[in-house]
Structure 1
Amino acid sequence: MSRDAEQVNRRLLRARDTMDRHYAEPLDVASVAAVAFMSKAHFIREFRRVFGETPHRYLQRRRVERAMFLLRTTDAPIVEICFAVGFTSVGTFGRTFTEVVGSSPSRYRAAADGAIEPNSGSFIMRWGRPSTFGEAPRGPDS
C-alpha cells in the first residue's frame, strides 16, 4: 500500500470514528468530510470505496444498530428511541429500521422480548448486526 493510500485510509477511519462517537448528533456529510480533510464529493467516493457503503448509509445503519439495542434492553417509547439515536423524523426512522432489519421497530421489540441478550463480542451479536441495506428478507407483512 502506498503512503498516500495509507494516509487516505487513516483520514477515512478518523471520519468513521467521528460518526461512531457522535451518531446521535446532527451530522452532515460535509462536516464529516472536513474531519477527513476532503471535499464532500471526494469523501463520499473514497468512503464507499474503502467501507463499501456511503457515509450517509453507514450513519443510518449505526443509528439503527443502537436503536435495536435500546429496543431490546429498555421500555422507552419508540418515539423517544428514534430521537435518542439521532433520527429527526419518526417516519424516516420506521422506514429505515424496517429496510435494515426487516421488521418494524415495534415488531422487533416484540420478537426480542424475553430473548437472552448475548455477551459483548459474541458470535450471536456479530451475526445479528445488520451489515448493509436491503439484506433483510422481505416477508408477507412487509
Structure 2
Amino acid sequence: MTSRPAQTPQLRDLVLLRRVRDRIDRHYAEPLDVEALARGVNMSAGHLSRQFRRAYGESPYSYLMTRRIERAMTLLRRGDLSVTDVCFTVGCSSLGTFSTRFTELVGVPPSVYRREEAHATAGMPACVAKQVTRPIRNREAPAPEPHLA
C-alpha cells in the first residue's frame, strides 16, 4: 500500500486559490464578494486576499472586475445592448463604478468603446478576438496624450 505525501500548506493554498479563481470565472455576473469567496474555501478574507495577490498579482476584486470588463467588451461590440444593460448583465450594480473601471482598463469609456469598436472583430475567430481585445491587467490603460495645436 502506497501513501501520498501530505500536501504542503503552500500547495494546499494554491489549490484553494485556483478554486476561487475558477468560481470567479464561472460566476462573474453574480454578486460575489471576498468574504463569500473566502468562506467557500474556509479562509479568512484577509488571508485569501493576500494569498490571491501573491499568486496572481492582483486582488480577488480586481480579478473579478477584469472578468466583468472582458465580458462587457464583448457585449458592447455586439451592439444590441445599452451601456446600462451591459453593466447590469455582467454583474455590476453601479453604472458609475462600471464606467470608471472600464475606462481604467480599456482606455476609453464604455459608450465610446461601443460606438468605435462595434466592427473591430468582424470576421475574426472568437479565440483571436478574445486575445486582441483583452483589457490591460494589473496596470491601467495609459491616458491619451493631449493633442497640441
- Taking structure 2 as the reference length, what is the TM-score of the superposition? 0.85
In 1, distance between residues paired with 2:21 and 2:141? 24
| Identity level (%) | 43
- Structure 1: segments with no counterpart, 5+ residues: none
In 2, distance between residues paired with 1:85 and 1:133? 20
Alignment match of 2:62 (pick from 54, 57, 65) = 57
Please state how far the C-alpha of 1:127 moved relative to its aligned partner. Answer: 3.8
Please state how far the C-alpha of 1:22 moved relative to its aligned partner. Answer: 1.0
Alignment match of 1:82 (pick from 73, 84, 87) = 87
Correspondences of 1:21-36 after superposition (within 5 Å): 21-36=26-41
The count of residues paired between Structure 1 and Structure 2 equals 139
Please state how far the C-alpha of 1:140 moved relative to its aligned partner. Answer: 4.7
Q: Are the aligned partners of 1:99 and 1:133 in contact in 2 as well (CA < 8 Å)?
A: no
Q: State the one-letter code of the partner of 1:116.
A: T
Correspondences of 1:1-142 after superposition (within 5 Å): 3-117=8-122, 118-122=124-128, 125-140=130-145
In 2, distance between residues paired with 1:81 and 1:88? 11
Q: Which structure 1 residue ranges, 4+ long, deviate > 4 Å from structure 2? A: none
Please state how far the C-alpha of 1:116 moved relative to its aligned partner. Answer: 2.6
In 1, distance between residues paired with 2:134 and 2:120? 16
- Taking structure 1 as the reference length, what is the TM-score of the superposition? 0.89
Local SS of the residue matching 1:121: helix
- Structure 1 range deviating more: 39-48 or 29-38: 29-38
Q: Are the aligned partners of 1:11 and 1:35 in contact in 2 as well (CA < 8 Å)?
A: no
Give the alignment's Cα RMSD to 1 decimal: 1.7
